[in-house]
Amino acid sequence: MERGALDEIALVGKEGVVGISLFIGGEITPSRAVVQSGGLSPDRLPSIEQTMTQELIANMLGVRRERVTDATGKLNKAGVIAYRRVHITVLDRVELAARVYECHAVVKKECDRLLHIPPVR
């Protein structure tokens, strides 16, 4: 954007690539990629533990850090995640997916479709 604001945030996992236009002959790209954390999503990584600060999560979501603190506290108390400074361990992926409503389902369905991953029955 003209003022330097970000337009969109994306998570790229082990099956993805950033900057593909440069690989196929482009000399510049209209976007900018910033790696904020090595490992952002339990769906894209083999590990159930993620390393990221509440500040990073807040910046990615465009919310105040206090909202992330509240959310992680509730998920921790419910036994969905174990959270300790900078370390988030997913204890119950099914419940975590259910709590993020349709957002997770929509993104997962599209990723699975594009990667030709059959639905789990």
The per-residue pLDDT for 115 is 74
Torsion of CA 72, 74, 79, 80, to 10 degrees: -60
The per-residue pLDDT for 74 is 94
Domain of residue 63, residue span? 38-115
User: Does any domain span residue 18?
Assistant: no
User: Does any domain span residue 16?
Assistant: no
The per-residue pLDDT for 76 is 94
User: Does any domain span residue 24?
Assistant: no
CA dist list (Å): 88 to 15, 61, 85, 103, 113: 22, 16, 8, 20, 28
User: Does any domain span residue 48?
Assistant: yes
The per-residue pLDDT for 15 is 66
Low-confidence ranges of the chain (pLDDT < 70): 1-16, 30-31, 35-47, 101-104, 117, 119-121
The per-residue pLDDT for 79 is 95
CA angle 107–38–66, rounded 5-degree value: 75
CA dist., res. 79 & res. 99, Å (int): 12
Domain count, the chain: 1
The per-residue pLDDT for 119 is 65
CA dist., res. 27 & res. 75, Å (int): 45
Q: CATH no. for residue 103?
A: 1.10.10.10
The per-residue pLDDT for 58 is 86
CA dist., res. 52 & res. 46, Å (int): 16
User: Does any domain span residue 83?
Assistant: yes
